[in-house]
Structure 1
């Protein structure tokens, strides 16, 4: 599965935790989430162009109800590429199909005092 994943931890701010894209993930992230920047939940399909692949922007609150030190809900943002993008048609699809792929990783890092580097 190819995806970009961004979230924040208990003590560290919003960071990319996984980057399966080539290069800087921010450009694709910005395109994917254009128009849904402030939504607490989102599932937005973006058509492929010559410069970018087809992708799905997916956002949902932490399924475990975790909050940071300031009491804010922990959001999880994903940009899903390739065949896996075809399987994500709603936020609920994303929770069921994408969250299990990263849940253990997040459990290990969310309480760290500093964010881990993005995995490839």
Structure 2
């Protein structure tokens, strides 16, 4: 996949569920979201990449009742067609929705290798 994906599950905290092929995706993630850490929805271009954040489209919540956010760093060519959160929901969410439905209730977070 041409993206980094971070989210949380029903009982587990934030984890990378896709590493974008990086041994450590955190530096790329941090650069992409620098300055928009507290915004609920984000779609911004950072060079050729897109930082994308939106609440879970199904409204799923963790045990504390918080809606689960999904955060992506999207790389070309997928990033080329994303200019808004709406574009991200249309282009990115279908790529991960089934996988998230499978893992979000797991008692322990899956590793990137498990996905």
TM-score w.r.t. structure 2 length?
0.95
- Runs of 4+ aligned structure 1 residues displaced above 2 Å come to none
Match of 1:56 in 2: 50
CA positional deviation for 1:22: 2.3
Offset from partner CA, 1:41-67 (integer Å, 9 cap, x none): 0001011xxxxxx21000000000000
* Structure 2 spans left out of the alignment, 5+ residues: none
Alignment coverage as a number of residue pairs = 114
Query: What is the distance in 2 between the residues matched to 1:104 and 1:114?
Result: 18
TM-score w.r.t. structure 1 length?
0.91
Match of 1:81 in 2: 75
Match of 2:34 in 1: 34
CA-based RMSD? 1.1
Match of 1:91 in 2: 85
Query: What is the distance in 2 between the residues matched to 1:35 and 1:5?
Result: 18
